[in-house]
Amino acid sequence: MNSFNVKEVLDQLTIEEKASLCSAADFWHTKTIERLNIPNVMVSDGPHGLRKQEDDPDHLGFGDSVAAVCFPSASALACSFDRDLLKELGNALGDECQAEEVSTLLGPGINMKRSPLCGRNFEYYSEDPYLAGELAASYVNGVQEKGIGTSLKHFAANNQEYRRMSISANIDERTLREIYLTAFEIVVKEAKPTTLMCSYNRINGTYSCENDWLLNKVLRDEWGFEGLVMSDWGAMNERVSALKAGLDLEMPSSSGINDKEIVKAINNKTLDMETLDTATKRVLNLIKHFYDNKKEGISYDKEAHHNLARKIAGECAVLLKNDNILPLQQEQKVCFIGQFAKEPRYQGGGSSHIHSFKVTNAVDSFASMSTTSLKGEEQPSAPFAKGYHLSTDKIDEALLQEAVELAKSVEVAVIFAGLPDSFESEGYDRTHLNLPNCQNILIQEVLKVQPNTLIVLHNGSPVTMPWINDVKAVLDVYLGGQAVGESTIDLLYGKVNPSGKLAETFPVKLEDNPSYLNFPGTEKEVVYSEGIYIGYRYYEKKAMNVLFPFGHGLSYTTFQYDDMKLSNTIMKDTDTLSVSLKIKNTGSVFGKETVQLYVKSPSGTQVRPIKELKGFEKVSLQPNEEKEILFKLDKRSFAYYEMSINNWYVPTGDYEILVGSSSNNILLSQTVHIDSTGHLPFVVTDTTTCGDVYKYVKDPSIFDNLIKKCILSVPLSEDNSLGEGSTEMIKQMFDGMPIHSILSFGDFGITLEDIRNVINQLNAK
Ligand code: BGC
């Protein structure tokens, strides 16, 4: 196909043809316009591999798809805290799409993990919008560098599966801006994704697909998005309203019904041609983009991509606990227990389900490691006991006993535990955070006979760990992709040093989670009453214990943080702050550390978290090696969304820059004073409190004169006649008293007229 000129084509299209381009031909293809030689393009899921369906199309992952490579899923990827790695993954997926002639990869999914119960959390990155946005931007850049498009999803506030196609997520605007939209904003601004996928749900009553505020005002006018917006599969409600709100492409299709609605609306003049042209132009751009960037004769090396999946999995796994038992030594007598050791759970269910061309497990990978290291000499594979069934939560006494007997006979027992497919998936939410009971019992029984027991976890989201104090180590490999067997052995035996950090908090129990009181909501709506307090923002504010904090992850080496310097100690909010520090590997093996930078805002009247992640860098260090790291912080790093000005605002004050190895292990800190250049509107009315007049009016002397005329000047004296603390009491009462109330406390010769006069003069200043 030769390239075409979008404007020329647009000029030649009939209304019917334009409308037809605004929905797909089938599950995965846009329509063709043969008359004008306009071909179609194919889109495919995503996001942690390519799910290209040739026959039996469906959006829930039931039907078959071409054999491809399954990389670790998003919840694992985020634990890498590694922008370069995400880009490398994006590049690989871009190549796969070129080879398979797929124009757009449907991902990444970057919704916030509001509740650990969301069935689709494994497909999402984090509870922190900055982390999710930065990593997803790298992924998008990686895919798009290869000339392939992406579809950032699900825009927005799709934070649960329960009634995802109809529920209204009711969220105040500040919370939306600071938490639920920020990751999207970062990706749109940093990586310019070619498309965005609208979520199924409503936001504050309006379907995302019909949300003019969301799609036209915020996404396009404010953030400058120039690409196409498509609906999630079947998310369309009222087609013409959606088109007006900025929803260009309906997926998959409505068998032409909605196309006719568009034509009807144009003809009866309830829809203007410019709106239809704009959407059609964006669809044509999507098609043109693919053919302009298509590389002929591309193929990809599946084995090489499998090796990349292995490398990535090694960077993502999080060593949660290690009482000096890991890494294991090859001479040690170990056994592997648990069905997952032979049949790992390496991806989640639903539309992201990849048809892996091969999968490795820990038992076989151990055997091949041993064979390789012993140069072909015979080496028995690690003894294995199944321990439990994945298909049922019933305890199988025979399997349990077999596992216990085996554990007794070795030096170290490695138990592979985690969530079976039925425990988490697209389409429904979890109801609890527990592992199957049969697995918890197995761990407890093995611990009775084998103190050197460690756990490898396969899970897409947090689980409770009733045995945490008794096991020697926990390695969380999340859903680590098709090479998870090899990467787990790499990590257990120290061939790879764990470097993942948790991208989400593991709470002690479900009830501790801030969304607990309002998840998943009622039949019609879910109210995000916890506001901006998601994940660690909440647990820290409430000084709660957690099982494992955000940003936590151990290594086989140690690091020393030193020499923190700020470029300024006093600055304006429009200035940039540079933060440098040194980090050294003080252990004896190569390792990687993720240095995390949090900003703590001054305490004041604004509702703000204790601290928020505003920078992170993953550093590789040989033993004794030291590197300098540099962070740049700008206005946004210090700001919150202030509703009175509908904008980001940095209050004047002292901000602490905190640097550490996890959210609860801050190792360096310094303070910078920031002077705000912004102004909050302050209008005095007769209900303004007296205290606020003194706080916000630059020259309150006229008000002072008024106050002095009445008994209210008492609080300014040191009169304790009403008892200890009375001065403070009167002061507080005065501060909180509306101006009009002055008249209620006696006749001071002041009239309402006098008060209004003073108010006018204060506002004039
Ligand atoms: C999912 C999307 C997916 C689409 C196509 C929908 O059900 O929510 O994430 O891309 O199906 O499979």
Q: Where are the domains of the chain?
A: 1-36+253-292, 37-249, 310-521, 559-675, 690-764
Q: Which atom of ligand 1 is nearest to the CA of 154?
A: 9
Beta-carbon contacts of 646 under 8 Å, excluding residues fewer than 6 positions away, are: none
Ligand 1 centroid from CA 107, angstroms: 9
* pLDDT value of position 374: 56
**Count of CB atoms situated within 10 Å of the CB of 112:** 26
The verdict on the CB of residue 315 being under 6 Å from ligand 1 is no
What distance in angstroms lies between residue 48's CA and the mean position of ligand 1's atoms? Answer: 13
644-670 pLDDT, tens per residue? 999 999 999 999 999 999 999 999 999
Beta-bridge partner residues of 475 = 319, 456
* Nearby residues of 25 by Cβ (< 8 Å), 6 or more positions away: 31, 32, 40, 253
Amino acid at 761: Q
Indicate whether residue 429 lines ligand 1 (CB < 6 A). Answer: no
Q: Answer whether 486 contacts ligand 1 (Cβ < 6 A).
A: no
Question: If pLDDT is split at 50, 70 and 90, which confidence band does 578 have?
Answer: very high
Half-sphere exposure of 560 (CA within 13 A, CB side): 11
Q: Is the CB of 59 under 6 A from ligand 1?
A: yes
Query: Torsions phi, psi of 563, nearest 5?
Result: 60, 50
pLDDT for res 722 = 64
Task: Determine if the peptide bond prior to 651 is cis (ω within 30°).
Answer: no
Specify the DSSP element, H or E, that contains 308. helix 302-316
3-state secondary structure 270-283: CCCHHHHHHHHHHH
28: number of CA atoms within 13 Å, CB side?
24
Who contacts 422 (Cβ-Cβ below 8 Å, separation ≥6)? none
Ligand 1 centroid vs 59 CA: distance in angstroms?
6
Please give the distance, rounded to the nearest whole angstrom, from the Cα atom of residue 230 to the centre of ligand 1.
Answer: 11
The rounded distance, in Å, linking the Cα atoms of 689 and 693 is: 7
Residue nearest to atom 11 of ligand 1 (CA): 59
CB within 8 A of 714, min separation 6: which ones?
730
Considering the entire predicted model, what is its pTM?
Answer: 0.95
Cα atoms found within 13 Å of the Cα of residue 61, Cβ hemisphere only: 18
Measure 224 CA to ligand 1 centroid, in angstroms: 25
Could you give the CA distance from residue 539 to residue 514 in angstroms, rounded to a whole number? 8
Model confidence band, residue 742 (pLDDT cutoffs 50, 70, 90): confident
State the Cα–Cα distance between residues 225 and 639, nearest whole angstrom. 22
State the distance from the centre of ligand 1 to the C-alpha of 480, rounded, in angstroms.
21
Question: Does residue 131 surpass a pLDDT of 90?
Answer: yes
- Those residues whose C-beta lies under 8 Å from the C-beta of residue 216, and which sit 6 or more positions away, are 245, 246
| Tens-place pLDDT, residues 224-244 | 999 999 999 999 999 999 999
User: Which residue from 351, 354, 425 has its CB within 8 A of the most atoms of ligand 1, so it is best to mutate?
Assistant: 351
SS3 305: helix
| Helix or strand holding residue 570 (H, E) | strand 570-572
Q: Which residue from 162, 82, 78, 193 is spatially nearest to 124, judged by alpha carbons? A: 78
Beta strand 228-231 with 195-198: parallel, antiparallel or unpaired?
parallel
350 Cα–ligand 1 center, Å: 8
SS3 648: strand
CA 60 to centroid of ligand 1, rounded, Å: 7
Q: How far apart are CA 354 and CA 357, in angstroms?
A: 9
Nearest CA to ligand 1 atom 9: 351
pLDDT band at 90 (very low <50, low <70, confident <90, very high): very high
| Torsion of Cα atoms, 699 then 605 then 223 then 24, to 10° | -150
Residues 361 and 342 sit within 8 Å (Cβ to Cβ)? yes
Q: Is the CB of 232 under 6 A from ligand 1?
A: yes
Distance from Cα 234 to the centre of ligand 1, integer Å: 9
Most informative mutation of 50, 59, 199 for ligand 1 (most atoms within 8 A of CB): 59
Distance CA 191, CA 149 (A): 11
- Strands 202-203 and 206-207 turn out to be antiparallel
CB 124 within 8 A of CB 74: yes
Measured CA to CA, the distance from residue 591 to residue 587 in angstroms comes to 9
CA of 543 to the centre of ligand 1 (A): 38
Q: Which residues contact 63 (CB under 8 A, 6 or more apart)?
A: 53, 55, 56, 57
- Burial tier of 247 (Cβ tally within 10 Å: 0-12, 13-18, 19+): buried
Asked, as a colleague might, if the bond just before 383 is cis with ω within 30 of 0, I would say no
| Ligand 1 pocket member 152 (CB < 6 A) | no
Strands 577-585 and 626-633: antiparallel
Atom of ligand 1 nearest to the CA of 51: 12
Locate the ligand 1 atom nearest the alpha carbon of residue 45 and give its number.
10
CA distance 708 to 3: 80
Asked whether the CA dihedral 231, 535, 426, 361 is positive or negative, the reply is positive
- Is 334 near ligand 1, meaning CB less than 6 Å away? no
Q: Is 540 in the pocket of ligand 1 (CB under 6 A)?
A: no
Q: Which residue among 154, 233, 425 has the greatest number of ligand 1 atoms within 8 angstroms of its CB, and so is best to mutate?
A: 233
| Selection from 615, 610, 574, 600 nearest residue 130 by Cα | 615
- 32 pLDDT band, cuts 50/70/90, is very high
The residue type at 472: K
Q: State residue 698's pLDDT score.
A: 85
Choosing from 45, 62, 251 the residue with most ligand 1 atoms within 8 A of its CB, the one to mutate for a pocket test is: 45
Asked if the model's pLDDT at residue 381 lies above 90, the reply is no
Does the CB atom of residue 688 touch ligand 1 within 6 A? no
What atom in ligand 1 is closest to the CA of residue 46?
10
Sign of CA dihedral 107, 170, 183, 319: negative
- The Cα 185–Cα 395 span in angstroms is 48
For residue 59, the ligand 1 atom closest to its alpha carbon is 12
- Alpha carbon of 59 to those of 46, 72, 420: distances in Å? 11, 20, 21
Q: Looking at ligand 1, which residue's alpha carbon is closest to its atom 3?
A: 351
pLDDT value, residue 380: 62
Is the distance from the beta carbon of residue 45 to the nearest atom of ligand 1 less than 6 Å? yes
Our answer on whether the CB atom of 74 is closer than 6 Å to any ligand 1 atom is no
Eight-class DSSP state of 177: I
Give phi and psi for 627, each to the nearest 5: -135, 155
Is any ligand 1 atom within 6 A of the Cβ of residue 24?
A: no
| SS3 at position 595 | strand
Identity at 356, one-letter amino acid code: S
| CB of 155 shorter than 6 A to ligand 1 | no
Return all residues near 705 (Cβ < 8 A) that are at least 6 apart.
Answer: none
CB-ligand 1 contact for 210 (6 Å cutoff)? no
Q: Which residues are 669's β-sheet partners?
A: 658
Segment 482-510 mean pLDDT? 98
In the predicted structure, residue 34 carries a pLDDT above the cut 60 = yes
Distance 352 CA to ligand 1 centre (A): 8
Distance from the CA of 347 to the center of ligand 1, in angstroms?
16
Q: Ligand 1 within 6 A of 153 CB?
A: yes
* Cα–Cα dist 308/690, whole Å: 65
Contacts of 701 (CB under 8 A, 6+ apart): none
Which residue do the tokens 């592979």 mark? 416
123 lines ligand 1 (CB under 6 A): no
Q: Which CATH architecture has domain 37-249?
A: Alpha-Beta Barrel (3.20)
Average pLDDT over residues 716-740: 75
Kindly tell me if the per-residue pLDDT of 377 is higher than 90. no
Cβ–Cβ under 8 Å, residues 633 and 639: no
- Residue 663 has phi, psi (to 5 degrees) of -65, -25
Q: Could you report the per-residue pLDDT of 698-725, keeping only the tens digit for each?
A: 888 999 888 888 755 554 455 566 677 7
- The finding on whether 161 has its CB within 6 A of some atom of ligand 1 is no
Cβ neighbours for 540, distance < 8 A, ≥ 6 positions apart: 609, 610, 611, 663
Strand duo 412-418 + 453-458: pairing: parallel
Q: Whose CA is nearest to atom 5 of ligand 1?
A: 59
- Residue 273's nearest CA partner among 261, 262, 260, 259 is 262
- Backbone torsion region of residue 83, taken as left when φ is above 0, otherwise alpha when ψ lies between -120 and 50, otherwise beta: alpha
CA–CA separation, 751 and 629 (whole Å): 64
pLDDT at 364 over 90: yes
- Give the model's pLDDT for residue 189: 98
* Any ligand 1 atom below 6 A from CB of 110: no
Q: Average of pLDDT values for 609-616? A: 98
Given this model, what pLDDT does residue 712 score? 55
What is the third-level CATH fold of 559-675?
Immunoglobulin-like (2.60.40)
The CATH architecture to which 310-521 belongs is: 3-Layer(aba) Sandwich (3.40)
In the predicted structure, residue 538 carries a pLDDT above the cut 80: yes
Residue 430, CA distances (Å) to 526, 631, 765 in order: 16, 38, 57
Structure letter (DSSP) for residue 32: P
Strands lying side by side in the sheet with 653-662:
570-572, 665-675, 653-662, 591-600, 612-621
| Residues forming beta bridges with residue 428, ordered by sequence position | 425
Spatial separation of the C-alpha atoms in residues 671 and 224, rounded to whole Å: 34
**CA–centroid distance, residue 85 to ligand 1 (Å):** 25
Q: Provide DSSP, 326-346.
A: PSP-TTS-EEEESGGGTS---
Average pLDDT value for residue range 722-744 = 82
Closest atom, ligand 1, to C-alpha of 164:
8
Closest C-alpha residue for ligand 1 atom 6? 233
Closest CA to 70 of 360, 323, 270, 331: 360
Q: Which of 46, 44, 35 is nearest to 290 (CA)?
A: 44
Atom 8 in ligand 1: residue holding the nearest Cα: 232
Q: Is the pLDDT of residue 535 over 90?
A: yes
Q: At what angle do helices 83-100 and 129-145 cross, to 10 degrees?
A: 40
Of all protein residues, the one whose alpha carbon is nearest to atom 12 of ligand 1 is 59
Ligand 1 pocket check for 106: Cβ under 6 Å: yes
pLDDT for residue 375: 55
Q: How many CB atoms lie within 10 A of CB 736?
A: 12
pLDDT in tens, 151-209: 999 999 999 999 999 999 999 999 999 999 999 999 999 999 999 999 999 999 999 99
Do residues 422 and 430 make contact, with C-beta atoms less than 8 angstroms apart?
no
Residue among 554, 552, 420 nearest 479 (CA): 420
Question: Could you list the active site residues?
Answer: 232
Among candidates 425, 528, 502, 430, which has minimal Cα distance to 201? 528
